Amino acid sequence: MNNTYGRLASHVYNLDKYIGKTFGDIDYYRERLLGCRGPILEPAVGNGRALIPLLEAGFDVSGFDASQDMLDYCRAHCTDRGLAPALSRQTFETFTYAQRFNAIVVPAGSLQLIADHGVASAVLTRFFDQLAPGGRLIFDLYPGDMVADLQPNIRSWQTETGDLLTLTSQRVKTDVIGQTTVSHLRYELWQEGRLASSELEFFTMRWWGVQEMMLTLRAVGFADIVVSGDYAFGRVPQDRDHVATFECRRPE
């Protein structure tokens, strides 16, 4: 499976990236969206880590995800909080809505899950078409992913019922020409010292250069592009920065 977020992967995600956990992105997106009175879309909504704080701040946010397991977590978290956003199972490549949005937000580098440049460009075009005139697209990229730690990594979490979930990750391929990396992610559920279930996922990420993304956005038709380093709006990203956030508009 490739970038599928199955049952165990979604469970780990939900334990590790709990609702409201922020990497600096939630406060940043909340601030950048001030004054946005129309509908907002979050593709790849996951378990609602960012969606729910935005809803609780009064924004009208809908979301979709390709993983049914992720959507189940998101719906449950929303129900627990008395929230009822429009959520649907769709993919980057084929999503569609009858309405247009005043903003589309994609935090946490989710766009990098699209490994092919041509497909990514088509998705950005789909974003453009789904925005109302003057609508904004805001998204994060992690430029350092290509040169991230290559050593195997093991992490663990205790589940709600006291079982143990482990994740073993290892980079297995780096394609410098294709600007992609592939990692093996092995998820295991342990109950009373015995392996109860496991999943193996091939996790592919695409690395983007900042200038490359700016050229791609301009080719799609976006204007007023601002790239910010480490959630400091308007500050040009620097080599030591962890994240580059792009904000651009569909012209009026």
Helix (H) or strand (E) holding 15, with range, is helix 7-16
Please identify which residue in the block is written with the tokens 């990750």.
169
What is the rounded distance in angstroms from the CA atom of residue 192 to the CA atom of residue 98?
Answer: 49
Amino acid (one-letter) located at 14: N
Cα torsion angle, 127, 179, 110, 5, sign: positive
Q: What is the mean pLDDT of the chain?
A: 95
Dig out the tokens for 3 from the structure: 């970038």
146: closest CA among 115, 125, 121, 124?
115
CB 11 within 8 A of CB 67: no
Distance in angstroms between the alpha carbons of the first and the last residue of the chain? 41
Q: What length is written for the chain? A: 252
pLDDT tens across 85-142, in order? 999 999 999 999 999 999 999 999 999 999 999 999 999 999 999 999 999 999 999 9
Q: Looking at the predicted structure, is the pLDDT value of residue 148 above 80?
A: no
**Residue 126: both structure tokens together:** 């789909």
Query: For 160-179, what is each residue's pLDDT tens digit?
Result: 999 999 999 999 999 999 99
